[in-house]
Chain A
Amino acid sequence: MSTAPANQTMDWSWRLQVLLAAGSAGLALALAHGFAGLAHWSALLALALALAATMRACRRTARLRPADAASQKLADLIVPLLFGAAILVTWEVLCVAFGVPTVLLPAPSLIAARVATSLPTLGADFVQTVIRAAIPGWIMGCLAGFAVALACDRFDFLRRGLMPIGNFISALPIIGIAPILVMWFGFDWQSKAAVVVVMTFFPMLVNTVAGLSAAGHLERDLMRSYGASWLATLVSLRLPAAMPFIFNALKINATLAMIGAIVAEFFGTPVVGMGFRISTEVGRMALDMVWATIAVAAIAGSAFYGLLVLIERKVTFWHPSLRAR
């Protein structure tokens, strides 16, 4: 098969389908805002139409078999985007059409407007929580976990003693130490960074130790026959082989760092920070501001994670899971 059969490329009929989905979604939005709070039948009908059209477009796009790899990648990107857009439109239309109270669930447009009008506040919170607390804590926790993992690897006694404890502790609700660390390190970002350090330490330790034993016997025997030292074997064989595990820990820790920094702020902060914003605005029932903060946290968390995935692809290009693409 040299060319893809009809109906499996991004031809005019596919484009028409996507356009139809977008058009009916636009119609649903317009009708919902036109008849806001009335739950008018036309808006709900348009929404049903839009959902049906989007589902068809999704199914069609998922079955696409374009000739070249770039189009395939594009198609794989379009499907989740269509799905996400459908959810956003449904949320907006239902919220507006039924006049859902903001306390229950603000419409996405309200949240977006809130983000646009309170950018300075959100920016200050972002700097306090992500730049000052989450990222430094993440770096320190990961480095510490990595260093202890190397020590465990060098001294087998330490590994046998520490790994069961590490496995046990990583199953505990570590976030609970937040109030203690806030007492020790004060209300500012230092205590949040400390929480993040403790939370990220154990996943890194456990994963790195597992990764360091991932190199095959054959390769290790080869290093032995070269008379390579522990350090040389580590740098040229075992660390590269451990990279998928280490990146796994880095990715898990990216999420944990955000959670740790935000939740630790529930236990006391200066008057800035995402966790502070969330807990105070919830108290004032300003739910749109809470959602705006969460939107920022979501974007920051996803960007952090996505950046790590990109770096991982560059570093572990040799791994089967990446070569299979």
Chain B
Amino acid sequence: MSAAAPSRAMPRKAGSTIPVLVITALIMAAWYAACLPMNNDLPQLARVTGLAERYQVSWALERPVLPAPHQIVAELYNSTVGTRLFRQTADGMVLNPRNLVFHAWITLSATLLGFAMGSLLGIVIAIGIVHSRTLSKSLMPWVIISQTIPILAVAPIVIVALGSVGLTGLVPKAIISAYLCFFPVAIGMVKGLLSPDTMQLDLMRTYNGSTVQTFWKLRWPAAVPFLFASLKVAVTISLVGAIVGELPTGAQAGLGARLLSGSYFGQTIQIWSALLLAALLAALLVVAVTLAERLTLKAMGSRP
């Protein structure tokens, strides 16, 4: 690193902790400051005079237009740690529907199932596209067009159509998630499977390697880093799919249902806490995929 290099050429990692903390603090401060103007029209604030008192009231309202961050965290704490996790029923112990963990689990199970199905579908499509010229020319344009369609709009149909043949609950939501997340996997895997260069492919030809051998010994290992990059995108949109899949039918359980019931009854803090939990879940899923990526790449002998 020469001193003359312009600052933008410096490695990006150089000290971004402090800026992130500062910006986060600024956002939090702006949020707290915004609580009063946003909630100004509520009747609870009408009788209060004095700026400090007004702010104190605006941070502790029951159904605020904009709740203060600590209210959201407190609600999240109360509805997860502060509520009984299990409930005694006739069938034995089940997860308590009053606990947010119950709803998170409902959504998470649909997310994971859909993620598995969609990733598998994406990989299969990519393998087909890479190995067949006809498929790559006929299917690839439709794979891309399928994404320009607002797919989430199809969610209600999938739920109702599958419901009419007796499939309800987990599977329809998982199918919506799968439909959403096959695309990044397919695109990434096509790129990855095509990433070995001509020289490597020629080497396989000189060894008289069959298509299958070339696939397992060259194309697949070369595609694994691309696969994980796509999986990180796929797992988050799979969560979005599961949440949206819970909206149109007025589902009773799941984070999407919490959002919907919160918006019906004006329970803003409930919406925000469900949202925060969804964000935590998304972060957790990405971290899990990243860990799996590290372990796999390490097992494959790549050096970071």
Q: Is B23 in contact with A180, judged by CB distance below 8 angstroms?
A: no
A156 located at the interface, meaning its Cβ lies under 8 Å from any Cβ of chain B in the complex = yes
Does B239 contact A83, Cβ atoms closer than 8 Å? no
A103-B164, A180-B272 given as contacts; is B137 within 8 A of A62 (CB)? Answer: yes
Stretch in contact with the other chain, from A28-36, A240-248, A253-261, A311-319: A253-261
Interface string of B18-53 (1 = CB under 8 A from A): 011111100100000000001000000000000000
A76 closest partner in B (C-beta): B137
Please give, as numbers and ranges, the residues of chain B lying within 8 Å of A249 by CB-CB distance.
none
- Minimum distance in angstroms from B170 CB to a CB of chain A: 18
**B130: interface (CB < 8 Å):** no
Chain B contact residues, majority secondary structure: helix
How far, in Å, is A10 (CB) from chain B's closest CB? 15
Please judge, given known A-B contacts A76-B137, A80-B138, A176-B275, whether A101 and B262 are in contact too, CB under 8 Å.
Answer: no
Q: Which residue of B lies closest to A305 (CB)?
A: B148
- A291 CB contacts on chain B under 8 angstroms: 157
* Contact residues on B (Cβ < 8 Å of other chain), bracket: 35 or more
Out of A84, A179, A293, which one reaches B271, CB within 8 Å? A179
Interface residues of B in 4-24 (CB under 8 A from A): 6-9, 12, 14-16, 19-24
Is B239 a contact partner of A104 (Cβ separation < 8 A)? no
Q: Does B259 contact A (CB under 8 A)?
A: yes
Establish whether residues B148 and A304, one from each chain, have CB atoms under 8 Å apart when the complex forms: yes
- A138, B137: Cα distance in complex, Å: 31
The residues of A that contact B291 with a CB separation of less than 8 Å are none
A278 contacts across to B, CB distance below 8 A: 153, 156-157, 248
The 8 closest A-B pairs by CB, nearest first: A161-B19, A179-B263, A161-B23, A83-B138, A80-B141, A258-B150, A305-B148, A160-B19
Q: Which A residues are within 8 Å of any B CB, using their own CB? A: 55, 58-59, 61-63, 76, 79-80, 82-84, 101, 103-105, 156-158, 160-165, 168, 171-173, 175-180, 182-184, 213, 217, 220, 224, 254-255, 258-259, 262-263, 266-268, 274-275, 278-279, 282, 285, 287, 290-291, 293-294, 297-298, 301-302, 304-306
